Amino acid sequence: MNIATPEFDLRPIHRHQKPLVGTPTIEHLLLRHVSLVCPESRLCVSVIKQAFVDLCSSSWGIRRDARRFFHDGRLTFWCDLVDLNPEFVREIALKTGYLPEPETLKKEAS
C-alpha cells in the first residue's frame, strides 16, 4: 500500500518567551510610582496591568490589541490619570519581556 508522505511546514515557529516578572510585581511597581494610592488609582493601574496580561495571551488578536494599547493614546490617557510616565511603563514592558521589540513585530508581520 503506497501512502503519500505528508508535507510539513518547516518554517521556524516563533514561541513567545516567558516574561521575566509576574504581573502582580508589575502592579506593585506601578503603584509605588503613582502620586496617590486610592481605589481610583488602583483601578487605573489595573487597566494597565491587564494590558500586560493581554500581551501574553494565546490569542493573536488580543496580543495585537494589547500592543496597540501601548502605542496609541490609551496608555498615555491611563498614565496621565495617575501621574505615571507612559515611556516608563513602555520601558518596563520591553525590559521585562512583555512587549516585543519593534524588529520582532516586523518579523511576525511578514
pTM of the model: 0.76
Q: Are 40 and 13 in contact (CB under 8 A)?
A: no
Q: Please tell me the predicted confidence (pLDDT) of residue 9.
A: 44
Q: Please tell me the predicted confidence (pLDDT) of residue 2.
A: 62
- From the list 97, 107, 100, the residue with the least C-alpha distance to 68 is 100
Spatial separation of the C-alpha atoms in residues 15 and 29, rounded to whole Å: 27
* DSSP per residue, 6-58: PP---SPP-PPPPPSS-HHHHHHHHHHHSSS-SHHHHHHHHHHHHHHHHTT-S
Q: How many CA atoms lie within 13 A of 35 on its CB side?
A: 8
Q: Please tell me the predicted confidence (pLDDT) of residue 100.
A: 83
**pLDDT tens, N- to C-terminus, the chain (110 residues):** 566 555 544 444 445 578 888 889 999 999 999 989 999 999 999 999 999 999 998 889 999 999 999 999 999 999 999 999 999 999 999 999 888 877 555 555 55
